[in-house]
């Protein structure tokens, strides 16, 4: 069992130990900038050194040992967390959700028939009309329209998107209505 958790009573602190309390408090206030937390830190450091002395530890120079104990305790002290309402707003909108959504769409596209994906890419990246794609592919315009419609439906299903409304609104955060 450690000296901190011993069942035996500790001897009374010596004047040497308690005489360093003002210096210890000054250091703790400089480290923490909170008077109540500084007092707790100083008392904790004093208690730890006191229990070490009671356990038989020989400390040559008490003042630097106490100050080092206080500094070490201050470093290990958990920082107070800000409430979410007090946290600063991010300087830029987060990009991770958009990247994750794009990665999900890319994976879903990779599972689709290549011919259908090629039609969609022609429309999405080149801005070609249904008529232009139909003429280039040598198929009726209705075929292009139905293949793209079915592909979009499969992508919406695989990505968990609603059947109605523009899918782009989900990526930009706009109202889909």
pLDDT at residue 1 greater than cutoff 50: no
* 152 within 8 A of 116, measured Cβ to Cβ: no
Residue 6, pLDDT above cutoff 50: no
Closest CA to 122 of 98, 107, 139: 139
Dihedral sign of CA atoms 118, 124, 126, 127 in order: positive
How far apart are the C-alpha atoms of 162 and 16, rounded to whole Å? 74
List pLDDT tens digits, range 70-83.
999 999 877 666 67
Is 37 in the same domain as 72?
A: yes
Query: Taking Cα atoms as reference points, which of 53, 29, 51 lies closest to residue 40?
Result: 29
pLDDT digits over 25-44, tens only?
A: 999 999 988 888 899 999 99
- Residue 124: give its domain's CATH number: 1.10.10.10
In this structure, are 70 and 25 located in the same domain? yes
Decide if 56 is inside a domain. yes
| Domain span at 133 | 96-172
Angstrom distances, CA of residue 46 to CA of 115, 117, 169: 76, 71, 61
What is the count of structural domains for the chain?
Answer: 2
Both 71 and 103 in a single domain?
no
Last residue within a domain, chosen from 76, 104, 128: 76
Assessment of whether the complete model's pTM goes beyond 0.75: no
pLDDT value at 86 more than 90: no
Max mean pLDDT among 55-64, 73-82, 95-104 falls in 55-64
Does residue 91 lie within any of the structural domains? no
- Region 81-104: mean pLDDT is 76
Examine the domain organization and report whether 104 and 142 are in the same domain: yes
Nearest CA-CA partner of 151 in 167, 140, 174: 167
- Give the pLDDT confidence score for residue 9 in this predicted structure: 53
- Rounded to an integer, the average pLDDT of 126-141 is 93
């Amino acid at each position: 069992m450690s000296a901190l958790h011993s069942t035996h009573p500790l001897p009374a602190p010596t004047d040497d130990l308690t005489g360093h309390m003002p210096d210890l408090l000054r250091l703790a206030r400089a480290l923490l900038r909170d008077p109540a937390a500084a007092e707790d830190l100083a008392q904790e450091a004093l208690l730890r050194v006191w229990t070490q002395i009671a356990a038989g530890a020989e400390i040559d120079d008490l003042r630097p040992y106490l100050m080092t104990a206080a500094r070490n305790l201050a470093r290990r002290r958990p920082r107070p967390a800000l409430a979410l309402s007090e946290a600063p707003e991010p300087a830029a909108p987060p990009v991770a959700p958009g990247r994750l959504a794009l990665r999900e769409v890319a994976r879903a596209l990779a599972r689709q028939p290549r011919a259908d994906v090629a039609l969609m890419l022609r429309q999405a990246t080149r801005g070609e009309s249904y008529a232009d794609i139909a003429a280039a592919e040598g198929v009726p315009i209705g075929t292009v329209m139905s293949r793209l419609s079915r592909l979009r439906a499969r992508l919406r299903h695989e990505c968990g998107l609603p059947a109605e409304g523009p899918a782009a609104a989900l990526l930009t955060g706009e109202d889909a209505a």
